[in-house]
Structure formats: C-alpha cells, structure tokens
Amino acid sequence: MSALIKDTSRGIERILPEDVLFTNRELFITEEINADTCHKLLKELMALEKMDCEKEVTIYINSPGGDVDSGLAVFDYMQLMKSPIRTVCVGTAASMGAMLFLAGDTREMLAHSRIMIHDPAYGGGNMAGKKPHELQYMVDKLKQTQEVLAGIISEKTGKPLKEVYKKTKQDSYFNAQEAIEYGLATGMVKTTNSESSIKI
C-alpha cells in the first residue's frame, strides 16, 4: 500500500493516505456493499461521531450497490448522527450505493458522475424445490423491501411514491444535472481558484 513520506521531529514517517483522509473526516464507499464493508464504515462513523459530533463528515461514494440489510444498517446510523453528513458521488452510486448517497444532509455530484436507482432483486439463491407458501413469503419480503427503499427515495426527493415506483421499475440512471433536478442530489461539487469544495 502506497504511503506518504513526511519529515517530522521524530524523523521520517510513513503515513497512509487513508489516515490523512480519516483525520480530515473523509471516508470512502468504493466497493460492493456487504456485511464487511458496512461493519468497517460503521466503526469509522462511530469513531468520528465520538471525536466531534459537530464537525461535518464527508463520504465519497463510487459503489455498484450490494446487500440491502447491511446498507440500511449504515443508512439508519447516518440518520441518527449529530455530525452533518456530506455525501459526494465520484463515479457511479448505484442501487444500495445510491441509497447511502441519499443519507447525506448535503448530496453533491462530480460533473461526470451518475446515480442509478431500481427495485430490489431477490438474491437468496436457488428457488428450485420451494413450496408455494415459501415462494410467497419471499415475494412478500421483497415487496416490503421495495416499499422501504421507495419510501426513502420519496422522502429525500419530495417525489410522490407513485412516481418513484415508476422510476424504479427498471434501472434508472441520472447524470449530475438530472439527479439535481429530480432531487436525488442537492448540488454539484464546485472548484474555484481560491478553494476547492473537495477538502483534501
């Protein structure tokens, strides 16, 4: 893993980029969302909240999505945090990645980034051999998940549920401007000559 070299009073020190960014309260979601990645993110969020619950936390997201239950655990904790949350889409925030993007108080897009939302899909394995009532149970649970996710999108964007369901029936991609117009994002990341809104 690459490291930064810094000359200090204690001599030459190697500093990991992740440590520098964590000190600046900047985190990343750049992998599939699963139990492991969400557990790591939860620990980082809890640590930053304990260190200072008034300073903003920035989360950069470029994720294909993944496990809904794990993602919702992080989403729920982000909603409970006292620290202001800023999410930034730096590539594609898809599926559950888009839901975590929506958890931000401020939600910003890079110029060529995009958001993708859709209905959840069953990912529990082979349905062969399942009895009708077992299949119906799985369908009912999937429907409940669909309602939860659509409710979040509706709340964050201000769009009626009926309109959200229409969008999520298929993979719906939004570029930065479209995401802002739909209410998924609150603005673009802007850079001026004097200061960048990406604090690195």
Of 2, 118, 133, 197, the active-site residue reads: 118
Catalytic residue at 95?
yes
Residue (of 102, 129, 128) closest to 117 by Cα position: 102
Catalytic residue at 118?
yes
Give the DSSP letter string of 52-75.
-SSS-EEEEEEE--B-HHHHHHHH
* CA 48 – CA 57 distance, rounded (Å): 8
- Structure token pair of residue 138: 């799985």
Of 63, 70, 83, 95, the active-site residue reads: 95
Residue (of 106, 124, 125) closest to 56 by Cα position: 106
* Residues marked as catalytic: 95, 118
